[in-house]
Amino acid sequence: MKMKILLALIAGLIVTTGCVNTVSGRKAAAVPLIKDRVEGRYERPAAQVFNAAKEVIRFNGTLVNEVTQHGDDGIAVLALEGRVQERKVFVAVTQEEPNLTSIVVQVRTTGGGRDLDLAHELEKQVALKLVR
C-alpha cells in the first residue's frame, strides 16, 4: 500500500513539472500554469527600454545572453537572459507602436518556481532608469 502511494506521488510530481516557454523564446524546466512574469508599457523607443533593461540586469547580476527574434508578423522582439540572486531572468522588449514599448520580465528559481517579487523589482528599476 505504501508503495502505491509513493508511486502515485511520484507520478503526480512528474505530471506537474515540465518545460515552459520563456519570454526569450527558449524552454526552461519549471512548474507550468503559474504566473511568473510582470509586464510594463512605456512611451519610449524599444532600443531605449532594451538598453535600460541590460543596465538593470548587469547592475543586479550577470547578463548571459541577448537575442533578437523576428516574428511572423514582422515585429522584432529584443530579449535578454541573465542571472540575478541565483534566479534565471528573462526579459522581452517589443515595440508595439512608434512610441510605445512593452517589456515582460520573467523570473524562475533553480527549482522551477517563480519569483514575482524580483520580477516586479527589476521591471520597476527599468522604469526608474527611463525617467533619468
Identify whether the C-beta of residue 25 lies closer than 8 Å to the C-beta of residue 67. Answer: yes
CA–centroid distance for 101 within its chain: 16
Q: What integer pLDDT is reported at residue 73 of this predicted model?
A: 66
CA–centroid distance for 20 within its chain: 11
pLDDT in tens, the chain (132 residues): 778 888 777 766 655 556 666 666 666 666 666 677 899 999 999 889 999 999 999 999 999 988 877 666 667 788 899 999 899 899 999 988 888 999 999 998 887 788 889 999 999 999 999 887
The domain limits of the chain are 2-131
Bridge partners for 70 per DSSP? 76
Between strands 37-42 and 87-97, the pairing is: unpaired
Q: Cα–Cα distance between 55 and 128 in angstroms, integer?
A: 11
CATH architecture entry for 2-131: 2-Layer Sandwich (3.30)
